[in-house]
Amino acid sequence: RLHLHRKRSEVKQPFAQVLGVSLLKPLKGVDPNLISNLETFFTLDYPKQYEILLCVQDQDDPAVDVCKKLLGKYPNVDAGLFIGKKVGINPKINNLMPGYEAAKYGLVWICDSGIRKPDTLTDLTNQMTEKVGLVHGLPYVADRQGFAATLEQVYFGTSHPRSYISANVTGIKCVTGMSCLMRKDVLDQAGGLVAFAQYIAEDYFMAKAIADGWKFSMATQVALQNSGSYSIGQFQSRMIWTKLRINMVPATVLEPVSECFLASLIIGWAAHHVLQGGALSFSKLDFAVAWFIRESMSVQIFLSALWDPTISWRTGRYRLRCGGTAEEILDV
């Protein structure tokens, strides 16, 4: 909380502010929020030079018409439309290659189509100091209607940032490719974008390449996702990326142990075999319901303790004082 959402005046203005930025936008298809999301980048509040490189998969992609509409609406913005070409198995890299090759500035910002936020670029460059090679944003989700939107916000506001922020605090280089500002010369030394076209998780391997000699920094502004197409099914499909993490980082198989329900089951099993010394006197269903009720009551119990400092013990009533002393409440 101390790091995120800081005002610009609270962040030092490093040397990277003098560099221009090439914004690479990979696009495929159209959703209800695409044009409004893209438009926030045509109106960026950024004091230096930047260009917008709109990258679509092919000429027949419906996103082409959206791009042309914005290019016509903002003729004074340095922007262009690029058609992808196949250089490997990764469709995002295939999409971005022509735009990357045309990029003219020293910093490249790869930012997914569903991201919006007009002041993000200034914040990203504020973090790009002399020893930093990559700046990334913590993914979060904009307010939208429906339970599926709530599910995404809950995930990106609880489980995901728990591991993401913990990794960055402890020095583990954990990056998602939704919004990343990188040094183009460092990427070029690693072979350019084409060197990562053989991987599906290009963001992981780009970060791995940049990590050799460079530090990472997390932006103070979140990477705000605002896709206009979302559902519980689509959310579940996004979570399939766990397959990639298992293949790249085998220790990922331990991830479920950190989740609430599985951790509770393990603790319950341990309590049964280590502490109980015998069979439980209630069913597993009773245990689950009792656990859920107890967890649900914890906040109410805590607030009640703060609000009312009196306790009843045996036949008396007492008012607690700071430090652990108490006085008896006598009935008048």
pLDDT of residue 5: 55
Mean pLDDT of the chain: 83
CATH architecture type of domain 21-329: Alpha-Beta Complex (3.90)
Show Cβ contacts of residue 22 under 8 Å, excluding neighbours closer than 6 positions.
Answer: 50, 51, 53, 99, 103, 104, 105, 107, 108, 109, 184
Q: Would you state the pLDDT for residue 163?
A: 81
Summarize pLDDT for 91-144 with one digit per residue, the tens: 999 999 999 999 999 999 999 999 997 678 888 998 999 899 999 999 999 988
In contact, 49 and 105? CB cutoff 8 Å: yes
pLDDT tens track for 130-181 = 899 999 999 999 988 888 888 888 888 887 888 888 888 887 778 888 999 9
Distances (CA, A) of 212 to 36, 89, 126: 37, 25, 22
Identify the three-state secondary structure at position 17.
Answer: helix
Instruction: For residue 109, give the nearest of 54, 179, 49 by alpha carbon.
Output: 179
Higher pLDDT, 304 or 276: 304
Instruction: Using CB atoms within 10 Å of the CB of residue 88, give its burial: 0 to 12 exposed, 13 to 18 middle, 19+ buried.
Output: middle
Residues 6+ apart with CB under 8 A from 213: 133
pLDDT of residue 157: 86
Q: What is the pLDDT of residue 28?
A: 92
Q: Domain spans of the chain?
A: 21-329
pLDDT band at 306 (very low <50, low <70, confident <90, very high): confident
Of all residues in the chain, what percent carry a pLDDT higher than 90?
40
- For tokens 């092919």, the residue is 58
Return the higher-pLDDT residue of 308 and 8: 308
Host H or E run for residue 225: strand 223-225
Predicted structure pTM score: 0.75
- pLDDT tens digits for 234-290? 887 776 666 666 666 666 666 666 677 777 777 777 766 655 556 656 677 877 787
Does 203 participate in catalysis according to the annotation? yes
DSSP, res 142: -
The pLDDT value recorded for residue 14 is: 52
pLDDT band at 316 (very low <50, low <70, confident <90, very high): low
pLDDT in tens, 53-84: 999 989 999 999 999 999 999 999 999 999 99
Q: What is the mean pLDDT of residues 227-239?
A: 82
| pLDDT attached to residue 9 | 45
Answer yes or no: are the C-beta atoms of 99 and 193 closer than 8 Å. Answer: no
Catalytic residue among 60, 188, 203, 308: 203
pLDDT of residue 16: 46
